[in-house]
Amino acid sequence: MTASNPPWTQLVIETDRSPDEELLRALTPLLDAVKPRTSSWHLLWEPDLWIRFKWRSDADREAGERQIKEAMRSVALPHRLEPYEDEIDHFGADMWPLHERALQVGAEMAVALSRAEGTPPRTPAFHWHRHVHLFSNQLHGTWTEETRRLLLQARYRAALMSRGDGVEPWRAALERMVETVERAIDSLEDLAAAEAAFLEGWRADGRPDLAERLHLSPDFHRDPSR
């Protein structure tokens, strides 16, 4: 990490729920109040709630931290303020500013969705599905590669948790899950072949509407559980 200028502050709130949408809604007035003093901010569940503020100046940091301390008097959870340094060394000098912006967009979406109720497009599942798909599309272009990345992430998370303390009753099941995902990854060549054949026919037929060729209902993308 490198020293941050302007400075960052990290607010850590210890919570037994992750995510804790009630807590997030309760903090919304604080976030709205201090955001004018920031040039960037984001939050993460690690699994406690970490909220990071990048202040526009030292004066904004001092005033913003006073606002945070005052607001946190009404939050009956252990919490602390501590310095945070940027992650240029982790992401690279050219990519960190982009990740910083992406983290803020994700945090703003999470806060907005904590207030939303109802059916798609006002559910977290809908926006997670679209967000992941659209970035995968920008980065990889194919459905097969998007699926591969999702499966690799599932394998990584299951393997990681299988190594944790206190998970002995579930370790064998997690290891079987890893094996199941690995078999799915090994079979992706079938998905790749099917995708290639489908797109070849689609192009040969003059690129008609994809949804029609996939026999999708008009509201298919509104329900990511399908």
Specify whether the backbone of 207 is left (phi greater than 0), alpha (psi in -120 to 50) or beta.
left
For strands 8-13 and 79-84, give the pairing: antiparallel
What are the φ and ψ backbone dihedral angles of 8, each rounded to 5 degrees?
-110, 155
Model confidence pLDDT, tens digit, residues 193-209: 999 999 999 999 999 99
Expressed as residue numbers, the domain containing 16 is 8-115
- Answer yes or no: is pLDDT of 225 > 70: no
The CATH number of the domain holding residue 64 is 3.30.70.600
Report the distance separating Cα 81 and Cα 95, nearest Å: 27
Q: 188 falls in which pLDDT band (50, 70, 90)? A: very high
Amino acid at position 70, single letter: E
| CB burial readout 20-33, b (16+ within 10 A) else e | beebbeebeebbee
Domain total for the chain?
2
Q: Does residue 202 lie in a domain region? A: yes
Verify that 140 and 71 share a domain, yes or no: no
